[in-house]
């Protein structure tokens, strides 16, 4: 039994990694507020190209029309994703609810972007909240999503909530509250 546990620890294909981090600021209307949100997102993440998300349907009560840009989104991968996650976890006090983890994804919100370390308040932009969604994977997970010759992942290689919470506590020092 001990050799099996040691084999899992030494197997590089079972190491969890951060695949991507998606940061979203939902403004609810286009125009100047959206441009300010895009500028703030670019400033925080260091990414120059910030994409927009459009409304899926018209909601008269909120003054939103279908296909109107209402949110700014950035996707981070690699080392920039880990750097941003360190800042984001510091902003929320390095505590996450276990319910925020679903399968191999983690989602949480930051109430004000000025809570991130190194970001100061600028009255020109204002204050924005944001949603952060993190997707975790292991080497070889690509076979699930590639276009050609898709395949399945074995039970021992799947990622569950406990694996993610353990990884968060070891890698980032985040306390997962159950």
Q: What is the pLDDT of residues 80-92, one digit of tens each?
A: 999 999 999 999 9
Q: What is the pLDDT of residue 7?
A: 57
Indicate yes or no: pTM above 0.85.
yes
Q: Is residue 63 scored above 70 in pLDDT? A: yes
CATH architecture of 19-177: 2-Layer Sandwich (3.30)
| Across 53-63, average pLDDT | 89
Domain chopping of the chain, boundaries: 19-177
Q: Of the candidates 177, 35, 46, 39, which has an alpha carbon nearest to the alpha carbon of residue 108?
A: 177
Q: Are 44 and 25 in contact (CB under 8 A)?
A: no
Q: What is the pLDDT of residue 6?
A: 60
Residue 4 has pLDDT above 60, yes or no: no
Q: What is the model's pLDDT at position 11?
A: 81
DSSP the chain: -HHHHHHHHH-GGG--EEEEEEEEEE-SS-SHHHHHHHHHHHHHH--S--EEEE-SS-BGGGTB-TT-EEEEEEEE-THHHHHHHHHHHHHTTSEEEGGGEETTEEEEEES-GGGSTT----TTT----EEEEEEEE-TTGGGGT-SSS-----GGG---HHHHHHHHHHHT-PEEE-
pLDDT of residue 1: 45
Q: For 120-143, what is each residue's pLDDT tens digit? A: 888 899 999 999 999 999 998 889
Query: What is the residue-averaged pLDDT of the chain?
Result: 90
């Amino acid at each position: 039994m001990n050799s099996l546990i040691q084999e899992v620890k030494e197997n590089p294909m079972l190491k969890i990694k951060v695949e991507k981090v998606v940061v979203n600021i939902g403004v609810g209307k286009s125009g100047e507020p959206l441009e300010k949100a895009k500028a703030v997102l670019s400033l925080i993440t260091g990414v120059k190209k910030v994409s927009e998300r459009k409304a899926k349907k018209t909601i008269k009560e909120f003054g939103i029309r279908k296909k109107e840009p209402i949110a700014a989104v950035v996707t981070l991968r690699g080392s920039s994703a880990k750097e941003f996650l360190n800042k984001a976890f510091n902003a929320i006090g390095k505590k996450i609810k276990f319910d925020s983890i679903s399968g191999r994804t983690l989602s949480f919100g930051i109430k004000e972007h000025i809570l991130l370390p190194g970001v100061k308040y600028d009255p020109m932009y204002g204050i924005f909240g944001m949603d952060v969604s993190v997707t975790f994977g292991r080497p070889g997970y690509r076979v699930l999503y590639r276009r050609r010759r898709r395949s399945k992942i074995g039970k021992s290689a799947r990622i569950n909530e406990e694996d993610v919470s353990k990884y968060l506590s070891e890698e980032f020092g985040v306390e997962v509250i159950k």
